Structure 1
Amino acid sequence: MRDLAKLPKAHLHLHFTGSMRTSTLQDMATGHGLRLPSVLLDGDPLRVPADERGWFRFQRLYDAARACVRSEADMRRLVDEAAADDAAEGSGRLEIQVDPTSYAPFVGGITPAVEIVLDAARVASAAHGTEVAVVVAASRMRHPLDARTLARLSARYAGQGPGEVVGFGLSNDERRGDTEEFAAAFRIARRAGLASVPHGGELLGPDHVRQVVSALAPERLGHGVRAGEDPALLDELVAAGVALEVCPSSNVGLGVYPDLEAVPLRRLVDAGARVALGADDPLLFGSRLGAQYEAARTVHGFTDAELAALARSSIEASRASSGTRARLLAGVDAWLASPDGGAGDAPPLSSASHPPAR
């Protein structure tokens, strides 16, 4: 079997705080004199039921981790380590998702918070050879006017290269907020050329997916895995070219499915869906991007050719430049052509400017 760490791929669903290493969380908590729930440090993947109490427990732990990120240095460390970890697993493109409002109080506002993350992304891209771009996400738990503010801020930094904003998202509990009330923010983002990448179709089923698609016109759907329960809806998503950011470990961690085998990855792929595997929140769910590909191989029986197709799908669903896409896709072909996958290493990032993909 070919080495999956050498398979070039794009990582399109990774949250800022959730990307953190456990050791980094411990360092930050100690440095700021904060006590953490032991479950955040024991290394065991989180398992909660798929109900409001389960989500509350998940959110409480996530908030405890986020409260440890209290300085510009902390924020830069997170971006650098996320890029390093992705590079080690063959990711040539990372589009990391951040809600800057959570960190704004410590760095002087939402604008400095965004600029710190973008600058750290540029530095990390050069240091680790993985392009790091940013998705700015609003929260369903906040007022839709806050989302408009974030969309306008995101538009100022729109682009496709390292250290630029490539998309606008909507995260947090799908059961909260009125999806249609966030439509204005997404229109602002789309006018600026940003990808619409809201969450939907993990905690709630096909009806919610239809609401998100109708109101927010997604280019990619964060999770979207529950679309597999409605063949007609899945066919519509395939026909519209909406990519699904499928995160198997978090689906199990949040109780949506009892185990990895129950995640309908094979059904989605066989239906023709463009799937991009993601790790979501490795800090809580215990596994990074490489483990999602390993599960596709060992749990769902994907061949190396099918794994290469998943990697291609992730690259094509990214907002990377045409040059970066071509480089990574060539690396996928080389990985598949080599008996051990050793030839799959993508060429290093070019210092030249990237032509637009669209």
Structure 2
Amino acid sequence: MTGVRKAELHCHIEGAASPALVMAQAQKYGADVSGFISGDRYVWSDFTEFLTAYDGAAALFRTPQDYALLAQTYLEGIAAENAIYAEIFVSPDHASAAGLTPESYFDGLAQGIEAAKASTGIECRMIVVGIRHFGAEKVEAAAGLAASRPHPLITGFGMAGEERFGRVAEFARAFDIARDAGLGITIHAGELAGPDSVRDALDHVRPSRIGHGVRAIEDEALVKRIAEEGVVLEVCPGSNLALGLYPDMARHPFDRMRRAGVKVTLSSDDPPHFGSSIGREYEMAAEAWGYDAAQLTAITRTSLEAAFVDAPTRAFLLGQLD
């Protein structure tokens, strides 16, 4: 299925750093990464250790040039798998931890995005995320920053982090701020937390998209509601399998939700941490459920129709599927 055009809506840019790139950064800064990288793999055994590995890798991107390299490397890599569009989650809190201003962080990422577009033609946009377990005040600050439109490639707002922290209602104001500014709205829900987290997201945030959302399958009425409301799910099967939600693809709910009328898309989340990529996600779906090129392209079409882009860009991207 290498010839199928692909699109990715759910990828954390710091989590897209390959072990090879992180080891090169570690050499540059004289850092030790042996605690979370072994050979060419990230090493972790549970979600807490995964976050440690994620933060350890992210800490090695410290300048706008580092972030330009990260974005360009990731985007050129997925373009080689025939991806034509991607959205990356970007975190002002990670920028602050690295000692960067949000503006220099966004500018560095944008340089990498433009370089990848020049070399491959791939389009990319940024979604600012607040980190849920940092608390409502921090998430509102991220929303306010996104709403100020500090860079033209920022087109959406979302919330990531530990979804079992707090209640969705506590973060509703942040999403109101972003929505009022005309930003696309997405929120992580229904992965490590159950269907109630998805229902709360729908009730309190009114997102057009939900990151993951797969645990909704445990509530038939909720699946029906998602389908009826047309909310798009950014599904990341490789992540779900790596974190132990499902034992294998055959038992992953992606296909059941698709058949129930839910708008589902494929993404890779934190690809090297989960041994995946956008190309691998499409391959796994084809292998598990026998999807042909037309069915996989339909998934890409759903992604592009749900993308946080202007109408001319969307039309241009959709035209590449014909």
Q: TM-score, normalised by structure 2?
A: 0.94
1:198 is matched with 187
Amino acid at match of 1:12: L
Deviation, structure 1 residue 213: 1.3
2:26 matched residue in structure 1: 29
Question: Counterpart of 2:316?
Answer: 327
Aligned to 1:318: 307
Q: Say if 1:47 and 1:295 are closer, same or farther in 2 by CA, change over 3 A.
A: farther
Cα distance change on mapping 1:25 and 1:326 into 2, 3 Å: same
Distance 1:29 1:21 in 2: 12
- Distance of aligned partners of 1:32 and 1:117 in 2 relative to their CA distance in 1, 3 Å threshold: same
1:199-218 equivalence runs, <5 A: 199-218=188-207
**Aligned match of 2:252 in 263, 285, 300?**
263
3-state DSSP class of the match of 2:106? Answer: helix
* Unaligned stretches of 5+ residues in structure 2: none
Q: Which amino acid aligns with 1:206?
A: P
Q: Deviation at 1:44?
A: 4.7
Counterpart residue number, 2:73? 81
Equivalent position of 2:224 in the other structure:
235
**Aligned partners of 2:54 and 2:213: how far apart in 1?**
22
In the alignment, structure 1 residue 18 sits paired with structure 2 residue 18: no
Question: Which of 278, 289, 301 lines up with 2:290 in the alignment?
Answer: 301
Q: Distance in 1 between matches of 2:44 and 2:244?
A: 7
Distance 1:114 1:81, change over 3 A: same
State the aligned residue count.
Answer: 322
CA 1:143/1:99 → structure 2, altered by over 3 Å: closer, same or farther?
A: same
In the alignment, the residues of structure 2 paired with residue 292 and residue 71 of structure 1 have an alpha-carbon distance, to the nearest angstrom, of 31
Q: For 1:325 and 1:108, locate their aligned partners in 2 and report how far apart those are by CA, in whole Å.
A: 32
Q: 2:63–2:105: 8 Å Cα contact kept in structure 1?
A: no
- How far off its partner does 1:177 sit? 2.4
Give the structure 2 partner of residue 40 of structure 1.
37
Equivalent residue for 1:128? 120
Give 1:284 shift: 0.5
State the distance in 2 between where 1:201 and 1:46 align.
Answer: 25
Q: Is residue 57 of structure 1 aligned with residue 49 of structure 2?
A: yes
CA displacement, residues 230-265 of structure 1 (integer Å, 9 cap, x when unaligned): 121111111111100000000011111112222111
Mapped contact 2:6–2:84 kept (Cα < 8 A): yes
Q: Distance in 2 between matches of 1:176 and 1:245?
A: 21
Residue 154 of structure 1 corresponds to 146
DSSP-derived class of the 1:196 partner = strand
SS of residue in 2 equivalent to 1:198: strand
1:246 matched to 2:235: yes
Counterpart in 1 of 2:169? Answer: 180
1:189 aligned to 2:178?
A: yes
Contact 1:7 1:331 in 2 (8 A): no
* Pairing 1:138–2:135 present: no
8 A contact 2:19–2:41 mirrored in 1: no
One-letter amino acid matched to 2:208: E
SS at match of 2:32: coil
Q: Which amino acid aligns with 1:104?
A: S
Identical columns (%): 35
Partner of 1:279: 268
CA distance in 1, matches of 2:7, 2:246: 25
Output the CA distance in 1 between the equivalents of 2:140 and 2:49.
28
Give the alignment's Cα RMSD to 1 decimal.
1.9
Report the Cα offset of residue 158 of structure 1: 7.4
Aligned counterpart, 1:5: 2
**5+ residue gaps in structure 1?**
49-53, 334-358
d(CA) in 2 for partners of 1:125, 1:193: 25
